[in-house]
Amino acid sequence: MKQITVISGKGGTGKTTLVASFAALVANKVIADCDVDAPDLHLLLHPEIIKREEFKGLKVAVMDKTLCTECGTCEETCRFNAIALTEDSGYAVNPARCEGCGACVFSCPQEALTLKERVSGYAFISKTNYGTMAHAELNIAEETSGKLVTVVRNRAQQVAEKEQRELILIDGAPGIGCPVIASLTGVDLALIVTEPTMSGLHDLERILDVTSHFGIDSIVCINKYDINEENSR
């Protein structure tokens, strides 16, 4: 089984459009949308969801008010300002600010705080007119995109093995961050989509540094090459 990841150093180069075109042209494959922060391959392939599962990423602090003595140690310890004294109900945790580091749990003398898993997004298996598709969506402000990309890739591989497919076609995230690295790990080829602008060339160099660092064979597609043929050459 081969795996190809289509990536770009920046958004807007036409990466997802190219993946959708390959999905329509290539047989015997599974599709994986690993751009979990801003997925949009579904807008082109119109998948029908057949399986949905919760993704639990970072944990969040939960306070037991019956044990809390309002000593304020947790508020002093938290570097993310996720715990504050409220007018109505004493100290409370703001789950949107909590990073799940556990410092408050460690410091609380009354053991009134614990870490519990929270749903950070959802992973899907869907049917499309062009084959089975694994994809996901991360909830707003969550920071576990790399882990969710790994879930999507694992599900795609499971489907490919079950359906005896020869190829996994991966739509990776733009940029060079954690979800990109998770999209590239262990693949056979990276297809980098760029455009002949100064920003496009700059970001192309950055993503080529990433694929070179991980020893991944790479080829480049210059989309809209004729807007600046000198840069394309």
Residue 120 burial (CB count, 10 A): 21
Same domain assignment for residues 31 and 136: yes
Q: What is the pLDDT of residue 113?
A: 96
pLDDT in tens, 85-143: 988 888 999 988 998 999 999 999 999 999 999 899 999 999 999 999 999 999 987 88
* Residue 2 banded pLDDT, cuts 50, 70, 90: very high
User: For residue 197, what is the domain's CATH number?
Assistant: 3.40.50.300
Q: What is the pLDDT of residue 141?
A: 77
Range of the domain at 102: 58-119
User: For residue 98, what is the domain's CATH number?
Assistant: 3.30.70.20
Domain count, the chain: 2
Same domain assignment for residues 177 and 79: no
Same domain assignment for residues 156 and 208: yes
* Residue 39 banded pLDDT, cuts 50, 70, 90: very high
What is this structure's pTM? 0.86
